[in-house]
Chains A and B, each alone.
Chain A
């Protein structure tokens, strides 16, 4: 079964290499092929995730490997959906390597399937962790759009203006989507914590970093909507926020001891 994961990994990597070759040599065909490969990798990745879930008899999201695997899957899924719905492909250049990066992190984690520990056996498990996958994926993709924005804005041509505006709006939509789901993560986590440990909130490091991430994106929303900040400054904001998302996702569990140190 592990083979499926590594096949997906290698095909994602091939897609990324082809993409950069296509960009470097300005070969549209290579770019097209890289997109097809990416979808193929995603299909294998989905198959792996389903098989793993069936084997474990539960949602495959319970330790660092499974969560990272789900996170990469979420990024790839959103990228493919957005690519099919938007007129311009503003995401692939940055989001395909990002998928590969998260896959690489997953590949470095222990992959054994373990029984779900009693504290994780709850109906809230799927809602809480599933929402986290969606939310972090959206924030990371918003960062990818931000990065692309910064690259395109360097060209500064008149034709780019409309493109930039649409990218700016797309990144806002992604943040809004991620923010709604991060709110669900925090609220469902609070209800679950009350069911498991009796208190809605314990200032556990993972809770605290989810709150910090939430505040960071709340500040983004206010700056953009109320203070009408747009453009490169906000794109930088989104790029810089990505490491915080990664820290909340992976750093807290590994670097700070707490109740969420499961995987």
Chain B
């Protein structure tokens, strides 16, 4: 039992888990993920059964991948615990133990002096134990590795929270309208533009968020990469669409209304005579004989928009192509075709408070911890009148540095 536990918290097991996670990731990146079954049947033919059985079509959601991450978390927890016990209270012990070590490099008295000067120049602090002097610096480096592993563990835990607790919905909203969330929060869109004043593509919405308790964000601009966070909501500029706009005027009483149209609709007073709005096309081609071919795909701009509509008058239906500026009269109603309206597709994310802030704090901790681990290695050098030894968890760098100092000096003293 103890053997098993020891293995489960060992670095060997940790490395095994990391290698397995890497292998699963290779599979998950080479095999397209989350596609329909027929895709795998076509692409991988006789292998597709194996792919589906091993869940290689959804590696990152598979039970075994999640299990590997959980095991890594446990392994990190145990090895971090062990480490923290060995760190606590060992500061003074390190110096004392170092003082008792035998020299590994022997120097002449001048060499010792040169070495001690070099250590003082490197801002080492000295402690004396009889004839032995112990030079130390970067004590903080002893905690680097612990903090590194702790931050990785926290990233796993808080990262899972940050990935799985938010609710995300994608919704479009016409300028001038508002969306109401389940908790009563209102997200209004005041305005939307596709280009900035210099003509550069830059999708920008002006929005306003009002929380159920009445708190209000005021008008805020969002664009790609610049979402607006307010309360627990974050609103992203995600996509955009283009809608038709038709003004209908009642010729009898002069009243009029403008409709923004994203789907098929029948605009009529009596339900029989009127205009069927079918679709809006971004452009068209006209051949020499005057025939029009509609363009269906667009890279964003509706350069020559065309309305495809159907007029209904006394039971007669007539297909018509109309252009912005055109007008049609059917019975008592006049239909004026306006320039199309662009509207944003928003992504609305609700995250429980603090999760994002905690995750970013852990990221900062990880970066700092790695910096400490690699760039502030603890230095422990024991010197006496005969020579010195470099010790501590990472003696290599200092051994090379001091080796250079003393070798140079000895060469000089030989001369």
Interface pick from A23-31, A39-47, A174-182: A174-182
A172-212 vs B, CB cutoff 8 Å, 1 = contact: the mask equals 11001101100110010011101111111101010011011
Flag whether B371 is at the interface (Cβ < 8 A): yes
The residue that A215 contacts in the complex, of B18, B159, B226, B394, with Cβ under 8 A, is: B18
Flag whether B269 is at the interface (Cβ < 8 A): no
- Kindly provide the distance from the CB of B332 to the nearest chain A CB, expressed in whole angstroms: 46
**Known interface pairs A203-B60, A219-B18, A219-B19; A212-B25 also in contact (CB < 8 Å):** yes
The residue that A222 contacts in the complex, of B15, B25, B394, with Cβ under 8 A, is: B15
- In angstroms, Cα B226 to Cα A179, docked, is 29
The residue that B367 contacts in the complex, of A117, A183, A227, with Cβ under 8 A, is: A183
Name the interface residues of B32-73: CB closer than 8 Å to any CB of A: 33, 60
The residue that B200 contacts in the complex, of A115, A195, A203, with Cβ under 8 A, is: A115
Closest to B364 in A: A187
The residue that A122 contacts in the complex, of B18, B21, B60, B225, with Cβ under 8 A, is: B225
Flag whether A218 is at the interface (Cβ < 8 A): yes
Flag whether B98 is at the interface (Cβ < 8 A): no
- Kindly provide the distance from the CB of B206 to the nearest chain A CB, expressed in whole angstroms: 17
- In angstroms, Cα B53 to Cα A83, docked, is 53
- Kindly provide the distance from the CB of B71 to the nearest chain A CB, expressed in whole angstroms: 15
Do residues B163 and A205 form an inter-chain contact, with CB atoms below 8 A? no
- Kindly provide the distance from the CB of A235 to the nearest chain B CB, expressed in whole angstroms: 16
- In angstroms, Cα B25 to Cα A252, docked, is 13
Q: A196 — which chain B residues lie within 8 A by C-beta?
A: 224-225, 236
Do residues A208 and B224 form an inter-chain contact, with CB atoms below 8 A? no
**Known interface pairs A179-B374, A200-B163, A211-B25; A187-B224 also in contact (CB < 8 Å):** no
Do residues B224 and A121 form an inter-chain contact, with CB atoms below 8 A? yes
- In angstroms, Cα B21 to Cα A252, docked, is 18
- In angstroms, Cα B202 to Cα A117, docked, is 9
The residue that B22 contacts in the complex, of A119, A194, A216, with Cβ under 8 A, is: A216
Q: How many of chain A's residues have a CB under 8 angstroms from any CB in B?
A: 47
Do residues B25 and A208 form an inter-chain contact, with CB atoms below 8 A? yes
Do residues B371 and A180 form an inter-chain contact, with CB atoms below 8 A? yes
- In angstroms, Cα B166 to Cα A252, docked, is 29
Do residues A118 and B25 form an inter-chain contact, with CB atoms below 8 A? no
Flag whether A169 is at the interface (Cβ < 8 A): yes
The residue that B168 contacts in the complex, of A166, A176, A198, A225, with Cβ under 8 A, is: A198
Q: B201 — which chain A residues lie within 8 A by C-beta?
A: 115, 117-118
Do residues A195 and B28 form an inter-chain contact, with CB atoms below 8 A? no
Flag whether A111 is at the interface (Cβ < 8 A): no
The residue that A121 contacts in the complex, of B26, B225, B404, with Cβ under 8 A, is: B225
- Kindly provide the distance from the CB of A158 to the nearest chain B CB, expressed in whole angstroms: 16
Flag whether B106 is at the interface (Cβ < 8 A): no
Do residues B366 and A198 form an inter-chain contact, with CB atoms below 8 A? no
- In angstroms, Cα B367 to Cα A195, docked, is 20
The residue that B15 contacts in the complex, of A190, A194, A219, with Cβ under 8 A, is: A219
The residue that A208 contacts in the complex, of B29, B203, B225, with Cβ under 8 A, is: B29
Closest to A87 in B: B404
Do residues A222 and B374 form an inter-chain contact, with CB atoms below 8 A? no
Closest to B202 in A: A118
The residue that A180 contacts in the complex, of B21, B367, B394, with Cβ under 8 A, is: B367
Do residues B11 and A226 form an inter-chain contact, with CB atoms below 8 A? yes
Q: B225 — which chain A residues lie within 8 A by C-beta?
A: 118-119, 121-122, 192, 195-196
**Known interface pairs A118-B224, A208-B25; A199-B363 also in contact (CB < 8 Å):** no
Do residues A118 and B367 form an inter-chain contact, with CB atoms below 8 A? no
Flag whether A51 is at the interface (Cβ < 8 A): no
Flag whether B354 is at the interface (Cβ < 8 A): no
Flag whether B93 is at the interface (Cβ < 8 A): no
Q: A211 — which chain B residues lie within 8 A by C-beta?
A: 22, 25
Flag whether A256 is at the interface (Cβ < 8 A): yes
- In angstroms, Cα B189 to Cα A12, docked, is 55
Q: B28 — which chain A residues lie within 8 A by C-beta?
A: 203, 208
Flag whether B349 is at the interface (Cβ < 8 A): yes
- Kindly provide the distance from the CB of A204 to the nearest chain B CB, expressed in whole angstroms: 9
- Kindly provide the distance from the CB of B10 to the nearest chain A CB, expressed in whole angstroms: 10
The residue that B19 contacts in the complex, of A117, A197, A215, with Cβ under 8 A, is: A215
Do residues A198 and B236 form an inter-chain contact, with CB atoms below 8 A? yes
19 A-B pairs besides A169-B397, A219-B18, A252-B29 with CB distance below 8 A are: A117-B201, A118-B223, A118-B224, A176-B374, A177-B374, A183-B370, A194-B356, A199-B163, A199-B168, A205-B29, A208-B28, A208-B29, A209-B29, A212-B22, A215-B22, A219-B19, A222-B14, A222-B15, A225-B394
8 CB contacts below 8 A, A to B, read: A122-B225, A179-B370, A194-B356, A195-B225, A196-B225, A215-B19, A216-B22, A225-B394
Top 8 A-B pairs, shortest CB-CB distance: A118-B224, A176-B374, A122-B225, A205-B29, A187-B363, A208-B29, A215-B22, A203-B60
